[in-house]
Every structure is written in structure tokens, then in C-alpha cells.
Chain A
Amino acid sequence: MKNNISHSEAAEIFNKDVERVNWHDETLWFVREKRDRSAHQIPEWELLRETASQIKLNVLSNIHDYLVEFEANAQKNGIIVHWAANAEEHNVIVHSILEKHNVKQMVKSKSMLTEECHLNDYLTERGIDVIDSDLGERIVQLRKEPPSHIVLPAIHLKKEDVSETFYEHLGTEKGNIDPQYLTESARHHLRDIFLTRKAALTGVNFAVAETGEFVVCTNEGNADMGAHLADVHIACMGFEKLIPQRKHLGVFLRLLARSATGQPITTFSSHFKKPREGKEIHIVIVDNGRSVQLGREDFRNSLKCIRCGACMNTCPVYRRSGGHSYHNAVAGPIGSILAPNLDMKKNADLPFASTLCGSCTNVCPVKIDIHDQLYKWRQVLVQEGYTPKVKTIAMKTMATVLANPMVFDIAGKTGRFAMKNLSGLVNNKLNKWYDQREMPEVPEESFREWYKKNGKATKRKNDE
């Protein structure tokens, strides 16, 4: 994953291909519109969001007990439960389960948590062949890229790109860009994988404390094909995936797919409660910074996220900068809140990758105050000294100028003079403000000068 350049630098590169950016923008907006149509068909949509938000609030305020309850019930069901404090421990646990069963090949369904933990790299380095089975994930995996979107991993690619990738790796016809043909080829390729793997790994959408079961949602059925054909099923979850009771699934399953893709529900919403006879199910419960975020009152609500991706599809910055520019497993607005919690230094740029327009907050199915949290992160990051030096100096200079009327006056005069007579000094690449916009025409006098001349006269006139 590219993590040595900032969001704005990466976005600048993405923006060079204007046609592709426009296409990316429109494609995601199309998904956003499908979400709207779907939500508008539910008269009680707002009540549903509010209810979901309150359930999650209850979870966060009682998560200790729910986790204990969940573990006990899952164990009663015959599921083996593991706890991982961080990404490294998560990877070690998964690897040890595979080693115990002498498994060298594993099939995986989509799990953003394993992306967050860089599990694939970890296992590959230890000689384990990992195949992602979600079609979009498989495409980006073959291209050695990370997913660019949590729900639509290959949304940044055109069918020509997929065709080229499949030609190279799966031996499909060169130049055949028919999605039906390409999907059929992937179907055959992946069926062979499903039928030969002894271990399958899936993510978890929801885990139920009351019953010890967990739910995995897919449209392709890839999680199920993997899990039901393998001897060992490993399910990895961040601890915030917990919900109190089975009946609460009704609320979240109504919201998830409608918010994600505009579908009334995903094709398969599978409830795993007990392993098949003679087979194993393992659950790995992962912290990896979540308990820290739980303690940050301003950012705690980000743990309500159900990973629908609605905030990305609607975000004007995400749509025009692409998921990879966020250099984090979860991109877009919600990712920009979660990422600084994981690593403030590395991800200090992300909360600034937003217009704070609030569209993300408006579509969030669990009512996370996303744009407020982005604004709050900016303040924390500046205070902690993680923002670029240039910006800090500029802000400090501005504060001095604004606090001192005489300096402000001189600065204004100098500025107007320079813009008028020495335009090259202002209209150049060094001026970040000029970079993406035309500079305004300079007025003859400042408001202050105008007011000195006319203000008092106008005031007298009004008083009469």
C-alpha cells in the first residue's frame, strides 16, 4: 500500500486523467442515487436510523459485558474464541490455526479487518497461498493492489482493466470486455478454489451477544461457498461488530444493503451458530486500537460504523480522489476518522481530505456525526503537532496579522499592490491558493479605507 505520499499528492496524480475522474465520480454518484431511491421507499427510514444509532450507543456503553456474554454463548455453541490485542497478534492466531491443521492454502471472503491487519502479506510470507474470493477483491488481488472501497473493492477499475488482468492471469480472451463473460470466467476459476481449500476465512458483519452467533452478508455467496466446503472456518471481527440480541439484526439488515448499494437486502445473510459435525469454527475478536477510540469521547461514535460505504459514495472528495489516495484499509470519510486513531502521524492528512459539507453524516445509517468528527480531528492533530510545518507557520502568521490592526492594514496594502502590479509574484505555483483557482481582481481600496471615507456620512444619514 502506498503510504509515503499524502492524500492531496495522491489525489493530484489521480486527477491527471480527467475523463477517468469524471467517470469515477459519476459511477459512485449512481450508487448514491440507488441508495436514495431505496431509502425513500421506507417511510420509517429516519426512525430506523435513530433506532440503529441507539442500539449501537447501548452496545458501546455496555460492550464489556456483551463481549463476555458473546464469548460464553459462542463457546456453548462449540465455537472456538480467540482474542487479539493488535494486528500482529491477529495474524499470529490465524496462522497458528492454519499450521495446526497443516493448511497451506486458504480461501478468503471479504474482510476489511484482515486488510487493516495486512493478513494476506503475513500469510504469504509464511508460505500460505491466500485467495480472495469476492470478485472485486480477486480482481485487485491479481493486480497486487489494495481494495479502493470497502463494499466495491474494484470500483476504480474499468472493464478494460479487468479484461486485461484476467487475460494475463486467468487466460481469458484478449480484449473481451463483456462483464458476463468475465464474471463467468472468474466463477469457474474460483469454484476450483472453493472445492480444494480446507480452510476458509470470512469477516463478520454482526455478532449477537444473546445467542453467540454471527452474521455474514454477501451477494455472491462466496463466504458460504468457502465456509461450508472447508473443514475449518475462521471468522475475524473487530469487537465493535457486536449487537445485543438476535432481534436487533432486523434493524441492521434493513439498513446495511440499502445504504451500501440500494438493494433491499444482500442476497445472502448467513447466520453461523454452530460448526458442522466434526468441523471447526474459530472466531478471532480483535481490538487493534478500538478500545482507545472507545475512550476518545469525541470519536467514540465512529465505532458504530457498520461498513456500508454510503459516506464514501456521497463524498465529493472521495469521488474525485479515489480510494487509494487515502492510504488506509478503510477509505473515505469514516476511514479518515478511524485512521488517525491507528496512527496519528501517518494519517494526519486524512481528516483534511474533506469539504466538511456534511453529506456523509446525512446518509450514515447509524447517524455517526462524521463531518463533526473530521473537524474535531483537525483540531487534535494541529494541537498535537502532526500537521505540516508550512501550514502551522502560515496559521501563526495569519493570527498575528489579524490580531494587529496596523499590521493588517499594511499587509492589505502590500497584498493589493503586489496583486495589481507584480502579478507574477502571486500567480505562481508556489502560491497554493493560486494552484487551483483564478485570483480575484483587486479592488481600488480596502473596506477599511472605504469606511473611513463613507462610513460616518452613511451613519449620520441613517440616524437622521
Chain B
Amino acid sequence: MSSKEAILQKIKQNQPKEVNELPNLEPLKETNLDVLDQYKTVLKSIGGDFVEVSNYVEIIDFVRQNFDTNKRILTTLTELSEVANLDWSDDDPHSLEDAELILVKAHFGVAENSALWVTDDLMGQRVSTFIPQYLAIAVNKNDIVAKMHHAYDRIGNQEYGFGTFIAGPSKTADIEQSLVLGAHGARGLTVFLMD
């Protein structure tokens, strides 16, 4: 007998005889959060930053003022081509290691934990939201949902190869519980909250 068969057989023998019903998730969705306000507060508290912008031009201006544009800046957003390179999705992912800033868009954000849902079709490359020195993500203000239950309602049965919730910059507290931003991934996360 293969290990698979042996394991499954043993499990079938040992699992409870009656199946327990799955609980209803609906009551967990009740909320009276001010979603945008909550989103901003939580993002700040976990080391992220936000900028409210009304269009892509304002993002371009912000990048010019706050980042070294002589360094490698990459994006998947055609609207930002003035300030960032668009032609890298077929590059060897290792070559992204010298990216100073990568800008992508999120499907939506979650107020209770400030996480942003990004899938590989928005990333250009899967490693792009992890490897740059700094990361910036744009999201529409009216695409902020209250809680994770609403987030999974939004995701539904969306198809993707890879998707991730990103909440703030890469961080660690493994050395005596001192919080340090920028462990392996981005040292900073700027969220562009768009009208």
C-alpha cells in the first residue's frame, strides 16, 4: 500500500463518525467602521505610509520629489511610464534585486488591518512586491472593504496563480523584540489612496 493510501485509510478509521456542520460566517460581517479612516490609522500603526492623490499625475510628482529617479524604478501601470520603466515583466526575476522602487496597483484594501490584495496579473513578476528597496501600491479609496470576510467576498472565485495580502513594509522583531523595518523585502511601503 502506498503512503497516501495508508494515511487516508488511517484517517478515515480515526476521524469522528459524524461530520460537524460548517458555521455561518455572516454574523462576523457586521460592522460600523469608517473604513477609510480605519485604513489610514492601521496603516500608520504598522509602519506604512499613505498619500491621498486624485490622479496618476500626482503620483508621478510624488515619486519625483521623494525618490531618487536616477535609480531603477519599475511599474506595471502604463499611466506612470513617465517616471518608471514598464518593460521588465520578462526579465529574469533575479535582475530585479537592484530595483529602488516598484509601483503596482491593488485590487482592494482592508480597513481592519490595512492589507492590500495584489495578484500576479498586477505584479508583473511575483517577486516584484518583495524584492525592491521600496514598494508603492495604488488603490482606489472606494475599493477599501471593512474586514477580511468582505475581502474574501470580493475575491470570490477569482482566478490567479499567486496572490498576496500586503500590510506594511517587510519587518522583523527577532532581535530582542525591537521592531526593525526592512528585513528582506521593502524598507518602506507607500500607499496611494486614489479618488
Tell me the complex Cα distance, A136–B115, Å.
24
Give the Cβ gap from B56 to chain A, nearest Cβ, in Å. 26
Q: Which chain B residue shows the least CB distance to A134?
A: B174
Say yes or no for B83: interface residue by CB 8 A criterion.
Answer: no
Are B165 and A264 within 8 A (Cβ)? Answer: no
Binary per-residue interface labels of chain A (250-276) against chain B in the complex, 1 for a CB within 8 Å, 0 otherwise: 110110000001011111111111111
Tell me if A187 counts as interface (CB < 8 A to partner B). yes
In the complex, whether A380 has a CB less than 8 A from a CB of chain B is no
* 0/1 string, A336-368, CB within 8 A of B gives 1: 000000000000000000000000000000000
Which residues of the partner chain A approach B149 to less than 8 Å between Cβ atoms? 247, 250-251
Whether the pair B28, A48 counts as a contact (CB closer than 8 A) is: yes
Which of B57-65, B69-77, B100-108, B180-188 binds A? B180-188
Contact, CB under 8 Å: A265 / B115: yes
Q: Which of under 10, 10 to 19, 20 to 34, or 35 or more describes the interface residues of B?
A: 35 or more
How far apart sit A291 and B3, CA to CA, in the bound complex (Å)? 12
A-contacting residues, B138-195, CB 8 Å: 147-149, 151-153, 155, 157, 160-178, 180, 182-186
CB neighbours (8 Å) of A184 from chain B are 182
Sample of 28 A–B contacts (CB below 8 Å): A58-B19, A62-B15, A83-B7, A84-B3, A135-B174, A136-B174, A155-B177, A180-B180, A183-B174, A183-B180, A186-B183, A187-B184, A191-B97, A191-B184, A195-B97, A220-B183, A222-B184, A229-B93, A250-B148, A250-B151, A251-B148, A251-B149, A254-B147, A263-B167, A264-B167, A265-B165, A267-B170, A268-B164
- Which of A49-57, A97-105, A117-125, A435-443 lies on the face that meets chain B? A49-57
Q: Which residues B109-161 have CB closer than 8 A to chain A?
A: 110, 112-115, 125-127, 129-131, 147-149, 151-153, 155, 157, 160-161
Identity of the chain B residue whose Cβ is nearest the Cβ of A93 in the assembled complex: B3
A-B contact sample (5 more), CB < 8 A, given A54-B22, A229-B93, A271-B162:
A64-B12, A133-B184, A219-B172, A224-B164, A267-B167
Is B14 part of the contact surface with A, judged by Cβ < 8 Å? yes
Closest Cβ–Cβ distance, residue B93 to chain A (whole Å): 6
Q: Which 9 A-B pairs have the closest CB atoms?
A: A295-B14, A221-B185, A264-B113, A136-B174, A220-B183, A228-B127, A274-B161, A83-B4, A265-B113
A169 to chain B, nearest CB (A): 15
Contact A221 B130 (CB under 8 A): yes
Contact B163 A273 (CB under 8 A): yes
Q: How far is the CB of A190 from chain B (nearest CB, A)?
A: 6
As a 0/1 sequence over residues 172 to 194 of chain A, the CB contacts with chain B under 8 angstroms (1 = contact) are 00000001101110110011001
**Cross-interface CB contact of B175 among A51, A154, A195, A300, cutoff 8 Å:** A154
Select one of A51, A254, A291 contacting B14, CB under 8 A: A291
Least Cβ distance of B99 to chain A in Å? Answer: 12
Point out the residue from B46, B168, B171, B174 that lies within 8 Å of A153, measured CB to CB: B174
Q: How far is the CA of A194 from the CA of B152 in the complex (A)?
A: 31
Tell me whether A220 and B185 are in contact in the complex, defined as CB-CB below 8 angstroms, given that A54-B23, A179-B175, A271-B160 are known contacts.
yes
Is A390 in the interface zone, CB < 8 Å from B?
A: no
Whether B42 sits at the interface, judged by CB under 8 Å, is yes
Q: Given contacts A179-B175, A267-B171, are A58 and B114 in contact (CB under 8 A)? A: no
Decide if B174 touches A294 in the complex (CB within 8 Å): no
Interface of chain A residues 62 through 90 with chain B (CB within 8 A): 62-64, 67-68, 83-85, 89
CA distance A221 to B181 in the complex (A): 12
Question: Is residue B66 within 8 Å, beta carbon to beta carbon, of the partner chain?
Answer: no
In angstroms, Cα B175 to Cα A190, docked, is 16
| Mask of A393-425 contacts with B, CB within 8 angstroms, 1/0 | 000000000000000000000000000000000
The 0/1 profile, CB within 8 Å of B marked 1, for residues 224-238 of chain A is: 110011000000000
How far is it, in angstroms, between the C-alpha of A211 and the C-alpha of B174 when the chains are bound?
33
Q: Is the CB of A44 within 8 A of B27?
A: yes
Query: Smallest CB-CB separation from B2: which chain A residue?
Result: A83
CA distance A44 to B112 in the complex (A): 13
* B165 engages A253 (CB within 8 Å): yes
Nearest to A258 among chain B residues (CB) is B113
Chain A residues near B78 (CB-CB < 8 A) = none
Residue pair B13, A295 in contact (C-beta under 8 Å): yes
Contact of A249 with B by CB under 8 A: yes
**Shortest Cβ distance from residue B1 to the other chain A in the assembled complex, whole angstroms:** 10
Q: CA A326 – CA B41 in complex, angstroms?
A: 40
Alpha-carbon gap, A239 to B167, bound state (A): 28
Q: Is the CB of B176 within 8 A of A158?
A: yes
Q: Which residues of A sit under 8 angstroms from B164, Cβ to Cβ?
A: 224, 268-271
What A residues does B115 contact at CB under 8 A? 265, 269
Assembled-state Cα–Cα distance A30/B164 (Å): 29
A128 at the interface (CB under 8 A from B): no
Chain B's closest residue to A263 (CB) is B46
What mask results when residues 8 to 19 of chain B are scored 1 for a CB within 8 Å of chain A, else 0? Answer: 101111111011
User: Among B112, B176, B182, which residue has its beta carbon within 8 angstroms of that of A187?
Assistant: B182
* Nearest chain A CB to B63 CB, angstrom units: 22
Q: Say which residue of A152, A264, A274 sits within 8 Å of B162 (CB atoms).
A: A274
Whether A55 contacts B97 by the Cβ 8 Å rule is no
A246 at the interface (CB under 8 A from B): yes
